[in-house]
Amino acid sequence: MNEKIIRLACVSFGVLLFMASPLLAATGDQGASAFYGNAMGTGIGCALTLIGAGLGFGKIGSAALESMARQPEVAGQVSASMITIAALLEGATFFSLIVCIIMALKS
């Protein structure tokens, strides 16, 4: 599990650096110095938010399915709790993405 996360982080960081090269090569008044901080911060923030949300939803789903398989009689209670937790996680994810979008549009 940890090896997969480290591998995913390395690939994501490599793609981020590859995509940033045109930005760093910009010249003129609106060059990299005027746009670099907000763009990189927003990209990293959005990426971490979505990766965290994906891992959270995966853990919620796997734990709920495992508990339903072990005790089928409590499946209704487990699914209600799973939906509540998923809604809270989704709300936090949307809040973080909105903050990232506001930071991207900030001049």
Model confidence at 23, pLDDT cuts 50, 70, 90, reads low
Average pLDDT over residues 84-93: 91
Any idea what the Cα angle at residue 52 is, between residues 47 and 54, rounded to 5°? 95
104 within domain boundaries: yes
Kindly report, residue by residue over 56-86, the tens digit of the pLDDT. Answer: 899 999 999 999 999 989 988 998 999 999 9
Residue % of the chain over a pLDDT of 70: 81
In total, how many domains does the chain have?
A: 1
Q: Please tell me the distance from the alpha carbon of residue 105 to that of residue 101, in angstroms, as a whole number.
A: 6
Give the domain extent around 69: 55-107
73 within domain boundaries: yes
Kindly report, residue by residue over 25-53, the tens digit of the pLDDT. Answer: 666 555 445 556 777 778 888 888 888 89
76 within domain boundaries: yes
Helix 32-70 to helix 2-24 angle (10° resolution) is: 160
Q: Shortest CA distance to 55 belongs to which of 104, 9, 101?
A: 9
Predicted model pTM: 0.62
Q: Please tell me the distance from the alpha carbon of residue 95 to that of residue 70, in angstroms, as a whole number.
A: 35
60 within domain boundaries: yes
